[in-house]
Amino acid sequence: MTRSSFSPEAFRSRFPLFAQPENRDLVYLDNAATTQKPAVVIDALAEFYLHSNANTHRSSHRLARRATAMVERVRAQAAGFLNAASPREVVFCRGATEALNLLAFSLCEELERGDEIVLSTIEHHANIVPWQMAAARRGLNLRYIPHTAGVPQFDRLGEVLGPRTRIVSLSGGSNALGLRPDLAGIRRQLRGYNLRWVVDAAQLAAHEPIDVQAIGCDFLVCSAHKFYGPTGIGLLYGREACLAGMVPWQGGGEMIAEVGLYQSQYAGLPHRFEAGTSSLAGIAALGATLEFLREQDRTAMAAHEQGLLARLHEGIAALPGLRLLSQPQHNLGVAAFAPEAGDASDLMHWLDGRDIAVRVGSHCAQPLLRAAGSGPTVRASLAAYNSYADVEALLVAVADYLQLDQSLASAAGGTCHWSRDSLGALQLERLAAQRSWQDRYRELLRWGKSISAKPEIRLPANLVRGCEADAWLVHREEGGRHYFAFDSDSRVVKGLAALLLSQVDGREAGEIRTRDLAGLFRELGLARHLSESRSNGFHALLQQIQALVSD
Does pLDDT of 267 surpass 70?
Answer: yes
Look at 53-62, 364-373, 428-437, 473-482 and tell me which has the smallest mean pLDDT. Answer: 428-437
Q: Is 62 left (phi over 0), alpha (psi -120 to 50) or beta?
A: alpha
Q: 366 vs 81, 177, 373, 475, CA distance in Å?
A: 32, 12, 10, 33
Q: Note whether residue 447 is domain-resident.
A: yes
Q: What is the pLDDT of residues 291-308, one digit of tens each?
A: 999 999 999 999 999 999
Indicate whether 206 and 78 sit together in one domain: yes
Q: E strands of 306-460, at which residues?
A: 322-324, 334-339, 356-357, 359-361, 377-381
pLDDT digits (tens, 9 = 90+) for 217-232: 999 999 999 999 999 9
Question: How far is it, in rounded angstroms, from Cα 245 to Cα 174?
Answer: 30
User: Is the residue at 322 inside a domain?
Assistant: yes
Whether 399 and 427 map to the same domain: the answer is no
Do 449 and 521 reside in the same domain of the chain?
yes
Domain end position, chosen among 253, 279, 294: 294
Distance CA 380, CA 356 (A): 10
Per residue in 83-130, pLDDT (tens digit) is: 999 999 999 999 999 999 999 999 999 999 999 999 999 999 999 999
Q: What is the pLDDT of residue 417?
A: 43
Q: How many angstroms separate the CA atoms of 351 and 160, rounded?
A: 42
- Residue 117 shares a structural domain with residue 81: yes
Say how many CA atoms lie within 13 Å of 547 toward its Cβ: 11
Question: What is the predicted pLDDT for the residue at 82?
Answer: 98
**Which H or E run contains 259?**
strand 256-259
pLDDT for 413 equals 44
Q: Would you say residue 1 lies in a domain?
A: no
Q: What is the rounded CA–CA span in Å between residue 265 and residue 253? A: 12
Q: Is the pLDDT of residue 414 over 60?
A: no
Sheet architecture: strand order including 377-381: 322-324, 334-339, 377-381, 359-361
Specify whether 111 is located in the same domain as 235: yes
More confident residue, 164 or 542: 164
Q: Same structural domain for residues 122 and 227?
A: yes
Chain center to CA of 417 = 38
- Give the residue numbers spanning the domain of 449: 413-550
Euclidean distance between CA atoms 468 and 489, whole angstroms: 11
Name residues whose C-beta falls within 8 Å of residue 273's C-beta, 6 or more positions apart in sequence.
91, 102, 106, 236, 243, 246, 248, 249, 250, 255
How many alpha carbons lie under 13 Å from residue 84 in its C-beta half-sphere?
26
Q: What percent of the chain has pLDDT over 70?
A: 95
Partner residues linked to 310 by β-bridges: none
Number of domains in the chain: 3
Does residue 13 sit within a domain? yes
Give the 3-state secondary structure of 118-142.
Answer: EECCCCCHHHCHHHHHHHHHHCCEE
Residue where one domain finishes, among candidates 232, 264, 294? 294
| pLDDT score recorded for residue 1 | 43
| Residue 245 and residue 155 share a domain | yes
Please tell me whether residues 419 and 523 are part of one structural domain: yes
**117 φ/ψ angles, rounded to the nearest 5 degrees:** -120, 130
Instruction: Specify if 3 maps to a domain.
Output: no
State the catalytic residues: 364
Output the CA angle 212-214-219, nearest 5 degrees: 30
Residues facing 482 on adjacent strands: 477, 507
Region of poorest pLDDT, from 132-141, 418-427, 538-547? 418-427
- Separation CA 508–CA 53 (nearest Å): 63
221 and 316 fall within a common domain? no
Whichever domain contains 193, its CATH number is 3.40.640.10
Question: Is the domain of 206 the same as that of 72?
Answer: yes
Output the pLDDT for position 489: 85
Could you give the strand order of the β-sheet that contains 234-238, starting from the edge strand earlier in sequence? 90-93, 234-238, 219-223, 196-200, 165-171, 116-119, 141-144
Report pLDDT for 459. 82
**Phi and psi angles of residue 292, each rounded to the nearest 5 degrees, phi first:** -60, -45
Selection from 420, 333, 340 nearest residue 383 by Cα: 333
Q: How far is CA 12 from CA 159, 228, 291, 384, in A?
A: 45, 12, 17, 8
User: At 453, which CATH number?
Assistant: 3.90.1010.10
Residue 465 lies in a domain: yes
Residue 79 has phi, psi (to 5 degrees) of -60, -40
pLDDT tens digits along 193-211: 999 999 999 999 999 999 9
Query: In this structure, are strands 507-508 and 481-488 parallel, antiparallel, or unpaired?
Result: antiparallel
Instruction: Tell how many helices (H) and how many strands (E) occur in the chain.
Output: 20, 20
Q: Is the residue at 150 inside a domain?
A: yes
pLDDT at 187: 98
Residue 2 covered by a domain? no
Residue 397: CATH number of its domain: 3.90.1150.10
Which of 303-312, 350-359, 461-470 is least confident? 461-470
pLDDT tens digits along 162-179: 999 999 999 999 999 999
Task: Tell me the average pLDDT of the chain.
Answer: 91
Considering the domain architecture, whether residues 357 and 393 belong to the same structural domain is answered as: yes
Distances (CA, A) of 318 to 70, 382, 395, 396: 51, 20, 10, 12
Alpha-helical (H) ranges within 318-387 are 344-353, 366-371
Residue 423 has pLDDT above 60, yes or no: yes
Q: What is the pLDDT of residue 255?
A: 83
Predicted pLDDT at 58: 66
Task: Specify the higher pLDDT residue, 518 or 191.
Answer: 191
Q: What is the pLDDT of residue 228?
A: 98
Look at residue 551 in the predicted model and tell me its pLDDT.
67
Of 267, 294, 321, the domain-final residue: 294
Residues 347, 285 share a domain? no
